[in-house]
Structure 1
Amino acid sequence: MKTSASTAVIMTLLATFFWGSNFQAAKIALSSNPPWTASFERFIIAVIGTFAILLLKEKVRWEILSRNLMPYIVLGVIGVAGFNGSLFVGLQTSSPITASLLMATTPISANIIEAIINRQVPATDRIVGMIISLFGVSLVITNGQILSGHIDFAPGDVIILAGSIGWAAYTVGTRAFVTDSTPLETTTWTMLFGTIALGLAAFAFESPVEAVVVGSGISFLAILWMGIAGSVLAYLFWNVGIAVRGPGKTSIFFNFVPVFALLIEVTMGTIPHLVQIIGIAITIFGVLVGQGRFSTWVSKTAS
């Protein structure tokens, strides 16, 4: 069944919601697990889930795997292992506020990478929308402190920035370098190779078996949520969005991740300040501008 553009938008929003929930879940998961091990556990669950869905809904097409083997491996290492590993490791010295701000630069990186590959300049609406939404996200995650122009960079900030660029490359690469692969196949194979890379890192830098044995039950439940909702469904929905609407239009929705993270914090009892609420409104407006919705509405109103 072919996915419509409107359905792809909804799925993309759900993907960003699931990723936004990962911040709260990660706090719980990391309470009794080191970063590489937590990421490895999460994606073991995710790989099992994606393969189960692949076997039920489609089938393993070995010719597609053979044709896209190198892109799957590279994108899995960059977009799964690199992105998630850099986030967890970077947060050891970086603050969540700065990390969210750096992650919010992903749409800009994705559009720059896409423009380089396609040798064309992004549409004006998309550029303006990215700038507006990035400013809105900055207000949300810094509680307005971005206006002072003072941001300190820790060593982890550089690691997280590299991870955000890796995710941008993944977003563009799944469309540019993967051929004849369904979103589910792309999700499954890139996640598998990313998980292998995470496993190698976990055993190289930590003691994952010991960490799993002594880990708490609540920590495991948090990892389970991150593995199913924050990985399987999020990656699958995101890749559907890329396949249907393109990487540029999809990537700008990544700015909703810190917004959803904040809204989840509200349900946990944290009340946002007025400047953060304004930032949420600006972010949504920026996404609409980037999708061309605002200019379309203005044109219809003018006519």
Structure 2
Amino acid sequence: MKKKQWLIYGMLIFATATWGSAFIAGKIAVQDFEPATVAFLRFLGASVLLFPLMWLTEKNRIRPTLKDYSLFAVLGLTGIALYNICFFIATKHAPVIKSSLFIASNPVLIVLLSGIFLKETITKNHIIGMVTALIGVTFIITDGHILSLVEIGFETIDFVLLGAVICWALYSVVGKVVLKKFSSVESTTYAVAFGTLFLLPFALVETTWKDVQHADISTWIAIAHMSIFVTVVAFIMYYYGIKEIGAAKASIFINVMPVSAVLMATIFLNETFTLAHGIGAAFVLSGVYIGTNTKIFKKKISTFKRAI
């Protein structure tokens, strides 16, 4: 049982670390296409892969009802269409210091919504883990100068980022409901299909065939990466993690994403990895460990009682 739990944690770390690469791929892709078009092409490619995968792996599929399709539509609208439009707008226009911080705040809202709507228990470990991880993320983003957040203040793009956070929180919570009936592959496939349909009108309005023809090869590689790894592989792993350990606990792993983004920026964009990045990464990983190990504080308390 414990071995399976650590396997799930490993899958969640891989999934959220892979999402960090979307920052790099997104920056490349938005040089040739507008945000909604990048999102549409990403999920169109993912749909082409997901449907055959679902047909091959899910032989005993349950036929979705009208209510089920409405839930899939909500998933597609929130976690696929709206979230990714906001994400790619932020990738194109927002400073990393702000976009990363807003996205890192996702777990806080997910835990709160899970407690309100799904009646999931919010434990002391969840809270301590989230706070510890959020401190680490803030340290990474500000390069150790946390007070700089106060100096920068808020801009219009911040509301776009806030919309992304709300959309992802709703996606995670509704996803937990859907997973009671459908597998992670089915849930991801239907959500991506609806999201792609919602994104199509935006792509048709903002993109011409000439834009498609003149797009650089690096743009297509970036979109392919987001379709295959960031979407298909990572989404299925994340959904499976939600099903096995709950939305609140799985959401803590989202803090791995900015750490991954920093490391990849260092490798692929030649950005400097500072001491603050290392300290922040340690806080993030510690927060994930605390938030997912429900017995850690109980053990310490019992040890202390025996000592006195």
- Fold shared by both chains (TM-score > 0.5): yes
Residue type of the alignment partner of 1:27: K
Q: Aligned-pair distance for 1:115? A: 1.1
Distance 1:75 1:123 in 2: 27
Range that drifts further, 30-39 or 143-152 = 143-152
Distance 2:95 2:208 in 1: 25
From the superposition, tell whether residues 237 and 75 of structure 1 become closer, same or farther in structure 2 (CA, over 3 Å).
Answer: same
Residue type of the alignment partner of 1:34: E
Counterpart in 1 of 2:297?
295
Range that drifts further, 88-97 or 21-30 = 88-97
Residue type of the alignment partner of 1:198: L
Contact 2:33 2:207 in 1 (8 A): no
Counterpart in 2 of 1:273?
274
- 2:196 equivalent to 1:195: yes
Distance 2:289 2:6 in 1: 13
Residue type of the alignment partner of 1:159: V
**Structure 1-normalised TM-score?**
0.92
Residue type of the alignment partner of 2:14: L
Give a deviation string over 1:18-57, Cα, whole Å, max 9, x none. Answer: 1011111111111211111111111111111111211221
Counterpart in 2 of 1:175?
176
Q: Aligned-pair distance for 1:145? A: 2.5
Contact 1:19 1:230 in 2 (8 A): yes
Distance 1:106 1:222 in 2: 25
Q: Aligned-pair distance for 1:60? A: 7.6
Range that drifts further, 57-66 or 245-254 = 57-66
Counterpart in 2 of 1:134?
134
From the superposition, tell whether residues 129 and 262 of structure 1 become closer, same or farther in structure 2 (CA, over 3 Å).
Answer: same
From the superposition, tell whether residues 225 and 71 of structure 1 become closer, same or farther in structure 2 (CA, over 3 Å).
Answer: same
Q: Aligned-pair distance for 1:100? A: 0.7
Counterpart in 2 of 1:82?
82
Contact 1:37 1:208 in 2 (8 A): no
Q: Aligned-pair distance for 1:299? A: 5.7
Distance 1:57 1:91 in 2: 34
Distance 1:126 1:42 in 2: 33
Counterpart in 1 of 2:156?
155
Q: Aligned-pair distance for 1:297? A: 5.9
Range that drifts further, 253-262 or 287-296 = 287-296
From the superposition, tell whether residues 62 and 245 of structure 1 become closer, same or farther in structure 2 (CA, over 3 Å).
Answer: closer
Q: Aligned-pair distance for 1:93? A: 3.5
Residue type of the alignment partner of 2:213: V
Contact 1:68 1:178 in 2 (8 A): no
Counterpart in 2 of 1:285?
286
Counterpart in 2 of 1:185?
186
Q: Aligned-pair distance for 1:159? A: 0.8
Counterpart in 2 of 1:112?
112
Give a deviation string over 1:149-180, Cα, whole Å, max 9, x none. Answer: 33332211111111111111111111125541
Q: Aligned-pair distance for 1:288? A: 1.1
Contact 1:108 1:130 in 2 (8 A): yes
> Aligned to 2:63, what secondary structure does the other structure show?
helix
Q: Structure 1 residue runs of 4+, over 6 Å off?
A: none
Contact 1:93 1:155 in 2 (8 A): no
Counterpart in 2 of 1:254?
254
Range that drifts further, 57-66 or 135-144 = 57-66
Q: Aligned-pair distance for 1:219? A: 0.8
From the superposition, tell whether residues 226 and 63 of structure 1 become closer, same or farther in structure 2 (CA, over 3 Å).
Answer: same
1:221-260, aligned counterparts within 5 Å? 221-260=221-260
Q: Aligned-pair distance for 1:227? A: 0.7
Distance 1:260 1:297 in 2: 31
Structure 2: tracts of 5 or more residues without a match: none
> Aligned to 2:182, what secondary structure does the other structure show?
coil
